[in-house]
Amino acid sequence: MSVIKSSAKRQKFNIFPYILTLPTIIFVALFTAWPVILSIYKSFFLQRMNIARFREPSFIGFDNYSFLFSDPNFLQVIKNTVNYVIGTVPISIFLGFFFALLVNRKLVGRGVFRLALFHPMVLPMVSAATIWLFFFTPGYGLMNSALRVLGYTGPENWTGNPGLALLSVIIVAIWKNSGYYMIFYLAGLQKLPGDVFESAQLDGANWWQILWKITFPLLRRTTVFITTIAFIDAFRTVDHIFVLTTGGPSQASTVLLFQLWQERFENQNVGLSSAITVIFVLVLLVFTVTNYLISEKED
């Protein structure tokens, strides 16, 4: 009996799994946890590296946060970010799911279709934005040429119009990401049990009932995962904004991460950029945890 107890005790305090996870813990602590803690600390100080009298940090408490949420320009950035996320995430996920359903069927040359739909994801975002910059050209770009075919004669300056700049950025993001999300849905579809669908067909279920009542619920965890990475990508991807609009005109296409870059590297405002970083991290953390809790609760 004592031998069994001592053996169980040794298994309980097995240190080997902790040794295996130690490199990951160190990496996360150094490159994730510590920068966030440092940003929280610096967000309580006034420090501007491009102004001599503000180079030394001065404690100001929550003044950076108060300034941000009372600044109309920052509120416009928040609005742009929300519109960007709403405009890109649902449509990209829907198209990814639709493309996956399409190329999962037994079609001639479906490998070519899969490659064509996934190809935009292989391109760097800067390259994709450069291609679309040509499409958005006011005089002879693809977008205006398509509008002329539909009967609209006036050329639109897509990236220079405050009403169209953010839409241009959204279009590029959707084109770039839909094929990427398609791969996850396609992998999920290929793992679904075929006998379930055969039974549903024998019971007289049509394609819509099978899709809505069987396919989509079985892919719920895949959807939760895709939604999470799509939401995070929508917040962290700004490469195409630099190429297409540089945040303009008049901040019409400036999103949160672009504003963070401007405050830190153009304005060199360490305190304000740290406060934006904290807001940025909190938004992502709240969404990720909420998404996870909802998915676990539904189980």
The CATH number assigned to the domain holding 121 equals: 1.10.3720.10
256: in domain: yes
Q: Tens digit of pLDDT for each residue in 119-128?
A: 888 888 888 9
Q: How many domains does the chain have?
A: 1
Q: How confident is the model at residue 153 (pLDDT cuts 50, 70, 90)?
A: low
265: in domain: yes
Q: Are 117 and 100 within 8 A, CB to CB?
A: no
> What pLDDT was estimated at residue 14?
77
19: in domain: no
> What pLDDT was estimated at residue 239?
86
Q: Is the pLDDT of residue 298 over 70?
A: no
26: in domain: no
Backbone phi and psi for residue 107, each to the nearest 5 degrees, phi listed first: -120, 150
Q: What's the token pair of residue 47?
A: 């420090």
Angle, vertex CA 192, rays to CA 190 and CA 196, nearest 5 = 135
Q: How confident is the model at residue 79 (pLDDT cuts 50, 70, 90)?
A: very high
Range of the domain at 257: 71-298
Q: How confident is the model at residue 158 (pLDDT cuts 50, 70, 90)?
A: confident
DSSP 102-155: HHTS--TTHHHHHHHHHHHHHS-HHHHHHHHHHHT-TTT-HHHHHHHHTT--SP
> What pLDDT was estimated at residue 146?
82
194: in domain: yes
What is the pTM assigned to this prediction? 0.87
Q: Tens digit of pLDDT for each residue in 103-112?
A: 888 777 777 8
11: in domain: no
> What pLDDT was estimated at residue 1?
52
187: in domain: yes
Q: Is the pLDDT of residue 139 over 90?
A: no
259: in domain: yes
Least Cα distance to 36 among 235, 269, 297, 281 occurs for 281
> What pLDDT was estimated at residue 210?
83
Q: Is the pLDDT of residue 175 over 90?
A: yes
Averaged pLDDT for residues 283-299: 79
